[in-house]
Amino acid sequence: MTNGDDMLAAAAARADELAAPGLKPVPRRKVAILACMDTRIDLFPMLGIERGDAHIIRNAGGLATDDAIRSLAASQRLLGTEEVIVVMHEGCGLHGASDEDFAAALAEDGAEPGWRLGSFEDLDAALRESLARLRESPELPARDHVRGFVFDPERGTLREVR
């Protein structure tokens, strides 16, 4: 069996638990969270949220990419969120990576995407850049409540970056 088969079977066995009758797509807490896709980040217990509280958007690095902004714009304009939280973390795979080397490896396979990897050398600076981009994005009508945090998966701590 593949992972997909295992996951399909797990969902079928838990359908009653997974059903969300009456739960609306509008987040109760009116917040959207942009976070890295790292497997060590479990946003629900970390941030004290439950299913239905927030929109969760994840990508490599938790960066404010064009696609993340697209999702956040839909979250705000169509579903009423008013706050954005960005969660990046220590030990991210993009920290110290090379956009140029990554692009060269893609080109060797015949791929020339219109996006960049988004590697960075300074975690706090990268988070500040994403926060600034979100605060300046005209696609987002609610830009006054944008905050950023860094998670340390080794210690389990979360700190704010301003």
| pLDDT, tens digit, 9 for 90 and up, residues 124-151 | 999 999 999 999 999 999 999 999 999 9
Question: What is the number of alpha carbons within 13 Å of residue 91 lying toward its C-beta?
Answer: 10
Whether 89 and 127 have beta carbons less than 8 Å apart is answered as no
pTM, rounded to two decimals:
0.95
| pLDDT, tens digit, 9 for 90 and up, residues 69-94 | 999 999 999 999 999 999 999 999 99
* Mean pLDDT along residues 6-12: 96
Whole-number percent of the chain with pLDDT over 70: 100
Residues 24-161: name the CATH superfamily.
Carbonic anhydrase (3.40.1050.10)
Closest CA to 35 of 160, 157, 150: 150
Whether 99 and 115 have beta carbons less than 8 Å apart is answered as no
Structure confidence at residue 1 (pLDDT)? 76
What are the structural domain ranges in the chain?
A: 24-161
